[in-house]
């Protein structure tokens, strides 16, 4: 197989070491005489694996004891419903921050359950900037404040956690584990796995325990956080293979120096790429530099008629999945934890060559 760098926004690249390990133990997990895909989630082998996986995540993120870690299904999108269903707790208003298209989806879902108060709205600046926190309007009667720390499509990322007198709910799908995180500042953190954790099919939820157990009446049992909290996330059959894969990724991050080192490498990767973009008139990125994402780097070519050629040539150079989201156009390089610095350097070199030839 040719060595390629995969810039897919999600499902995204996984560390090669993790996949090699999966391959080596695919047919038999431990001494179980069966694949990890074929064994009971209630058996000793799987139970041990899942306990280790949870502990590794707790160690990595330094998750306080009064937080539950839930491993769920349904993707981040199902959390758009679960957050209001569980966190409204008798109130009728929730605060939402709109910094991009995932925020919009979360807002649309919350709107089914409560009055959504928009604290700040980046729609007017084309999702390229975030208004100063002092200028936000926050409804004190809101049950919670929801925001999207990293907007995956435009590449707009917070460099702080909004501090308010109510639980903060965060859709961390595309930035979880990319840098250290003070979990105690949040009421609930959730993330679909397929960006920075593992294959799709697993949703990680980290929730302060006092927020569990007061759902809106008459909701599906699986939409009540207490259902999974009281059953070690095994009320029903979990997505066993993604759990296993996530466990290997957590181990890989630990072995690679934890979140401090992830942050160091991610910062370096994104800075090199943004510097390349800013140093050229051929490429551009419109995001306020303070809020540029470390994980998703969209850029456009000055001459959009070259987009197709750029994609063809980059693909032939083994640089995959650089096509930007249709709403933004141009290119997007998603450079999650698994993307090594060499991959970003290869992209930068390709960009320079392409510019020399066609600029
Ligand atoms: C990818 C993504 C989602 C969607 O996740 P699903 O698991 O497909 O539901 C939601 N929010 C953000 C920020 C994302 O990056």
- Does the pTM surpass 0.85? The reply is yes
Report the alpha-carbon distance of residue 118 to residue 137 in Å, rounded.
8
Q: Which atom of ligand 1 is nearest to the CA of 152?
A: 15
* Ligand 1 centroid to residue 328 C-alpha, Å: 17
**Cβ atoms within 10 Å, residue 255:** 10
| 61 in contact with ligand 1, CB cutoff 6 A | no
pLDDT score at 113: 98
* Mean pLDDT computed over 123-146: 98
* Tokens, residue 29: 């997990």
- Give the model confidence (pLDDT) of 50-79 as tens digits: 999 999 999 999 999 999 999 999 999 999
pLDDT at 282 over 70: yes
Largest CA distance in the chain: 63
- Give the model confidence (pLDDT) of 311-335 as tens digits: 999 999 999 999 999 999 999 999 9
| 102 in contact with ligand 1, CB cutoff 6 A | yes
* Mean pLDDT computed over 217-245: 97
* Mean pLDDT computed over 178-190: 98
What does DSSP say about strands 115-121 and 93-98: parallel, antiparallel, or unpaired?
parallel
* Ligand 1 centroid to residue 75 C-alpha, Å: 7
| 103 in contact with ligand 1, CB cutoff 6 A | no
pLDDT score at 52: 98
- pLDDT interval class at 1 (50, 70, 90): low
* Ligand 1 centroid to residue 109 C-alpha, Å: 14
Residue nearest to atom 4 of ligand 1 (CA): 76
Report the alpha-carbon distance of residue 125 to residue 227 in Å, rounded.
41
- pLDDT interval class at 341 (50, 70, 90): very high
* Mean pLDDT computed over 92-101: 98
- Give the model confidence (pLDDT) of 154-164 as tens digits: 999 999 999 99
Peptide bond before residue 150 is cis, with ω within 30 degrees of 0: no
Which residues are the active-site residues? 102, 171, 195
Residues 6+ apart with CB under 8 A from 20: none
| 173 in contact with ligand 1, CB cutoff 6 A | yes
Report the alpha-carbon distance of residue 231 to residue 37 in Å, rounded.
21
Residue nearest to atom 14 of ligand 1 (CA): 173
Q: Are 242 and 200 in contact (CB under 8 A)?
A: yes
- Give the model confidence (pLDDT) of 19-49 as tens digits: 999 999 999 999 999 999 999 999 999 999 9
Give kind and range of the element (H or E) at residue 189: strand 188-192
Using CA atoms, how far residue 88 sits from 22, 183, 190, in Å, is 41, 20, 17
pLDDT score at 3: 81
pLDDT at 177 over 80: yes
* Tokens, residue 228: 């999974």
Residue with tokens 């090594």: 340
What does DSSP say about strands 319-320 and 5-6: parallel, antiparallel, or unpaired?
parallel
pLDDT score at 2: 62
Report the alpha-carbon distance of residue 172 to residue 168 in Å, rounded.
12
Report the alpha-carbon distance of residue 303 to residue 313 in Å, rounded.
16
| 192 in contact with ligand 1, CB cutoff 6 A | yes
What is the per-residue DSSP string for 235-259?
Answer: SS---HHHHHHHHHHHHHHHHTTHH
pLDDT score at 122: 98
| 300 in contact with ligand 1, CB cutoff 6 A | no
* Tokens, residue 249: 């990724």
């Amino acid at each position: 197989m040719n060595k390629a760098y995969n810039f897919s926004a999600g499902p995204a690249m996984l560390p090669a070491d993790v996949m090699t390990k999966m391959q080596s133990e695919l047919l038999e997990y431990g001494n179980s005489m069966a694949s990890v895909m074929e064994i009971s989630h209630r058996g000793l082998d799987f139970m041990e694996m899942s306990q280790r996986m949870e502990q590794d995540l707790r160690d990595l993120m330094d998750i306080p004891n009064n937080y539950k870690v839930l491993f769920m299904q349904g993707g981040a999108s199902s959390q758009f419903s679960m957050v209001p269903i569980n966190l409204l707790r008798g109130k009728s208003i929730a605060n939402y921050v709109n910094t991009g298209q995932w925020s919009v989806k979360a807002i649309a879902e919350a709107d089914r359950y409560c009055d959504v108060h928009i604290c700040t709205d980046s729609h007017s600046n084309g999702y390229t900037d975030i208004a100063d926190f002092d200028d936000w309007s926050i409804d004190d009667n809101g049950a919670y404040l929801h925001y999207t720390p990293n907007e995956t499509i435009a590449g707009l990322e917070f460099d702080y956690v909004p501090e308010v007198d109510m639980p903060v709910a965060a859709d961390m799908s595309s930035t979880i584990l990319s840098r250290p995180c003070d979990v105690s500042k949040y009421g609930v953190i959730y993330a679909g796995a397929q960006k920075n954790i593992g294959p799709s099919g697993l949703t990680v939820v980290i929730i302060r325990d006092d927020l569990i157990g007061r759902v809106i009446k008459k909701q599906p049992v699986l939409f009540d956080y207490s259902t999974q909290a009281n059953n070690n996330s095994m009320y029903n059959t979990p997505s066993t293979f993604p759990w296993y894969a996530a466990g290997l990724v957590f181990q890989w991050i630990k072995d690679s120096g934890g979140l401090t080192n992830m942050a160091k490498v991610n910062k370096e990767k994104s800075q090199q790429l943004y510097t390349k973009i800013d140093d050229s008139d051929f490429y551009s990125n419109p995001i306020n530099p303070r809020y540029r994402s470390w994980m998703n780097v969209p850029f456009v070519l000055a001459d959009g008629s070259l987009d197709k050629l750029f994609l063809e040539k980059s693909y032939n150079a083994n640089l995959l999945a650089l096509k930007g989201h249709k709403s933004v156009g141009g290119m997007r390089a998603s450079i999650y934890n698994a993307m090594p610095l060499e991959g970003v350097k290869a992209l930068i070199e390709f960009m320079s060559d392409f510019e020399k030839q066609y600029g």
